[in-house]
Amino acid sequence: MPSENQQLNVNISQYTSEFKYNWKLAAPVMLGMLGHTFVSFVDNIMVGQIGTAELAAVSLGNSFMFIAMSVGIGFSTAITPLIAEADSADNFKQAKSTFKHGLFLCTVLGIILFLGVFFAKPLMYLMQQPEEVVALAIPYLDLVAFSLIPLVVFQALKQFSDGMSMTRYPMYATLIANIVNIVLNYLLIFGKFGFPALGIVGAAFGTVISRFIMLAYLWWLLAKKERTKALVTNIKFFILEKLMLQKFINLGAPSAMQMLFEVAIFTAAIWLSGLLGKNAQAANQIALNLSSMTFMVAMGLSVASMIRVGNQKGLQKFKELRRIAFSIFLLGILLAIFFGSIFFLFHKSLPKIYVDFTDAANYADNLEVVRIASQLLFAAAIFQISDTIQVVVLGALRGLQDVKIPTIITFISYWVIGFPISYFLGKASMYGSFGIWLGLLAGLSTAAIFLYMRFNYLTLKLIRDQQN
């Protein structure tokens, strides 16, 4: 009879044995997404050298972009579980139809989101943001909004590639685009090698050009690969099926809302920080940028969760589905503890990367920005686990094609619980910036608990129904 220790080892190993394959799927997604965030990190460092007002302006402009991107990226995630299911069932016709309809809807959505952001700029004047920040943000947003079109179309190709378990190709495209972006930013922000010094507008030019390159390169990779060539070429773009469009919208719209609710509360944090002044807003941008890097790791695991759960659903192996999902959850928690520890240990030194302490004119502002950002990293360290659990479990639920109830859960967590706490505690008379992030912590923790409960209930129900 096996001892308790032996039993424990067996139980743990059934989850840890999946780490290698989960990492193989997730790592390219993480690297690709981290590439996006790293570019933002470099942008912020470059712009921060110009001044805190410029850094705050990029933060304000990007707050509009984050909202639009969340809708586009969230909607596109509907492609992945449908492709994963069709691929595991070896259904070519279904896979091609899924790709075509997803590509069409993402193209239309990209155009709509660009127009929405472009015409939403006057809202900046109504948000009680610092006037000098708004004046800098508007020309930046004029340009960067256009990049939404290639970005959302790229997402359609990326989600298709992820659903085929070919997660490396979007990573390659992203990394190449990011290199281009960094080089262009350096040339155009500071005016190096004869290029004009355009400041934050230069950063916008770099973003637009790099996203078109990213899209073109990924399509080229998929079009020349034997496994995907027939699926992504000879597309009858405007011959569409009403039922398939409806299926996409039913899956994609709630997924878009889920991502919107989460991104929007972080965006609200940017706006609430703006009410406290430009230094608080700049500090919030630093903490948000660092947190975004670790969030992208969690997003990689979320995609792996969506792919593997979608595959097992197609095979009707529900016990295996549950085991694999829990292995991804465990890996996510371990990584979250690691990143949380880094934020905790280096909360004072990490923000210093973003500011220029040799700038005598802005020394006092820079000092205050670092002080506030250091406090925010404490909160970021704590919510690493909550943030990871909620996003990875959400990926598993999308793999099950369960989107409506999770949408309600995320709305209540972020906007009924999280935002009121941020608003109340984030006042200058209360805890200021730190209070805003306590609200974020409350929202993420609530979402993590209830999304996990939803996944646990659904998977146990699938197993019971199959056995009966």
Determine the residue type at 16. T
Q: Give per-residue pLDDT as tens, 389-437.
A: 999 999 999 889 888 899 999 999 999 999 999 999 988 778 888 888 8
pLDDT tens-digit readout, 104-137: 999 999 999 999 988 887 888 777 777 888 888 8
Q: Kind and range of the H or E element at 51? A: none
Comparing CA positions, the residue from 49, 163, 173 lying closest to residue 95 is: 163
Could you give the CA distance from residue 368 to residue 433 in angstroms, rounded to a whole number? 12
- pLDDT for 394: 92
Q: Which residues contact 90 (CB under 8 A, 6 or more apart)?
A: none
Q: Which of 85-89, 156-160, 297-301, 359-363 has the highest mean pLDDT?
A: 156-160
Q: Average pLDDT for residues 233-259, to the nearest whole number?
A: 84
pLDDT band at 255 (very low <50, low <70, confident <90, very high): confident
pTM: 0.76
Q: Reduced to 3 states, what is the DSSP secondary structure of residue 146?
A: helix
Whole-number Å distance between alpha carbons of 203 and 8: 53
Which residues, other chains included, contact 293 with Cβ-Cβ below 8 Å and sequence gap of 6+?
Answer: 34, 37, 38, 41
Map residue 55 onto helix, strand or coil: helix
- Burial (0-12, 13-18, 19+ Cβ within 10 Å), 69: buried
In angstroms, the CA 127 to CA 64 distance is: 12
Examine the pLDDT at 360 and tell me if it is beyond 70: no
pLDDT given for residue 8 in this prediction: 41
- Helix (H) / strand (E) element for 134: namely helix 131-144
What six digits make up the tokens of 245? 């469009």
**Does residue 192 surpass a pLDDT of 90?**
no
- Give the model's pLDDT for residue 251: 85
User: Helices H, strands E: what count in the chain?
Assistant: 19, 0
| Interval 34-48: pLDDT, tens | 766 666 667 777 877
Cα gap 111→104, rounded to integer Å:
11
Residues 6+ apart with CB under 8 A from 463: 318, 319, 322
Report the C-alpha gap between 331 and 75 in whole angstroms: 26
Q: Show the tokens assigned to 1.
A: 């009879």
Nearest to 299 by CA among 110, 85, 70, 90: 70
